[in-house]
Amino acid sequence: MDEKVLVTGCNGFIALHVLDVLLSEKYHVIGTARSQDKADQVKESFKKLYPYAQLEVEIVPDITKSGAFNDVFKKYPDIQHVLHTASNFSFGHDQSTEEAYLIPATQGTKNILETSLTLGKKVKRFVITSSFASIMDFDHEGDANFIHTEATWNPTTWEKAKGNELSAYIASKKLAEESAWTFMKKHESEVPFTLTTVCPPYVWGPQMFDSSVKRGVLNTSAELINQALKTTPDFKGPFDTPNGIGCDVRDVALLHVLPLRNEKLAGKRLFPVNGTGVKQHNYKNARFNMQRVLDVLNKKFPELRGKISKGGIEDNEKALAAGFYYNNDETCKLTGIEFKPLEVTIHDAAKQILEFGSSD
Ligand code: NDP
């Protein structure tokens, strides 16, 4: 088979798992990375797992530059699928929030869609890594009568969000996804490909390669487990933040690849959530805060008891009830996936850090 899939930002936490699924399915993968070093590292790491894989990594230094992907499509005019994962997901930038979040998310999405339309004559499926950020409605956090689903849209605006890094990141993801659906509508008669978006909440689980843990720098979401492992028994908290819902990186990766084969996923927003599935309707299982992470670590790793914090919240069910209410039945039914439980995700990520990382 020579079915070519382009994966932008292929060295990212989620993208490396996406590559793993694609290569195990014998797709011909063309990744993009910002530097040769990063490209070489991706190729080197996968060579050990899949010695006969077809994997190229092209350098795209800046996805926000007009025509950023032109050379890639000129080199591989027969790309059949595009998985756009690249976007900034780290905080503490000395740029404006517009430069750090809005432009990479929206302009990067616009560029890759436009080039896929003009130069990608064979593109059939297009998948974008969006986020629960584009679903969540902060005005209804803790509101049991407001259920977030695949049909919910974050009502935030750039004007409202731009003054704060986190809210700017959230708004940038919403605006990027919205602009992608608008693009599809506007070019309805000429676009030869379908669009699916994946809207994950907090993504965690093991790094694709143990060597990433050794380097000690984990991506933003995985770092919370690292932080919990670094606590001491006298840690004073806070234990009630962040109050979020999670999903497993391996499930998120699978959701990026399923639309290439399953046409029922065309035009859909997919919403992965820990511990949900066609037969599982307990819509609080994926909620977490620092207390819940510590509870899982203390339960699953007896050797850590007395070394890390036990937390300090008596009634965590009550604390977690302040989080988002959700229902991802549509995604479960369409994909048939039983999403990994939160305990499994936390356990597997922590095990890898304990085996291969240093907690300082
Ligand atoms: P990573 O930071 O691990 O990966 C992000 C990737 O995007 C990297 O390859 C990075 O390149 C690339 N990138 C960022 N900015 C640019 C830019 N301006 N030009 C070119 N490439 C860029 O993040 P994740 O894997 O966690 O996230 C991937 C996607 O998933 C993002 O779109 C994020 O918004 C989304 N997401 C993540 C969640 C999570 O909890 N992790 C939750 C919901 C959505 P480089 O390595 O060179 O910086």
Which tokens is 109 given?
Answer: 């999405």
E strand or H helix that includes residue 29: strand 28-33
User: 107 CB less than 6 Å from ligand 1?
Assistant: no
Q: Whose CA is nearest to atom 45 of ligand 1?
A: 34
User: 102 CB less than 6 Å from ligand 1?
Assistant: no
Question: What one-character-per-residue DSSP string does 201-246 give?
Answer: SEEES--SSHHHHHTT---TTTHHHHHHHT--TT-----S-S-EEE
* pLDDT value at residue 2: 85
Q: How far is the CA of 308 from the centre of ligand 1 (A)?
A: 30
Closest CA relative to residue 79, chosen from 42, 125, 137, 14: 125
Instruction: Per-residue pLDDT tens, the chain, 360 aa: give them.
Output: 689 999 999 999 999 999 999 999 999 999 999 999 999 999 999 999 999 999 999 999 999 999 999 999 999 999 999 999 999 887 887 899 999 999 999 999 999 999 999 999 999 999 999 999 999 999 999 999 999 999 999 999 999 999 999 999 999 999 999 999 999 999 999 999 999 999 999 999 999 999 888 776 677 778 899 999 999 999 999 999 988 999 999 999 999 999 999 999 999 999 999 999 887 666 677 899 999 999 999 999 999 999 999 999 999 999 999 999 999 999 999 999 999 999 999 999 999 999 998 645
* pLDDT value at residue 283: 67
Burial 192-229 (b: 16+ CB within 10 A, else e): ebbbbbbbbbbbbbbbbbeebbeeeebbebbebbbebb
User: 228 CB less than 6 Å from ligand 1?
Assistant: no
* pLDDT value at residue 359: 47
* pLDDT value at residue 358: 62
* pLDDT value at residue 67: 96
- Cα distance between residue 315 and residue 270, in whole Å: 32
Domain boundaries, the chain: 4-199, 210-243+279-325+341-356
pLDDT tens string 42-66: 999 999 999 999 999 999 999 999 9
Contacts of 143 (CB under 8 A, 6+ apart): 325
Q: Whose CA is nearest to atom 32 of ligand 1?
A: 87
Q: What is the number of other CB atoms lying within 10 angstroms of the CB of residue 103?
A: 18
Evaluated on CA atoms 47, 48, 51, 54, the torsion sign reads negative
**Axis crossing angle, helix 290-300 with helix 342-356, rounded to the nearest 10:** 70
CA distances from 94 to 91, 97, 101, 162, 205 (A): 9, 9, 12, 14, 29
Residue 277 DSSP one-character state: B
User: Is-cis flag, bond preceding 242, omega within 30?
Assistant: yes
The CATH code that applies to domain 4-199 is 3.40.50.720
* Atom of ligand 1 lying closest to residue 62 CA: 19
User: 41 CB less than 6 Å from ligand 1?
Assistant: no
Residue 102 DSSP one-character state: I
* pLDDT value at residue 94: 86
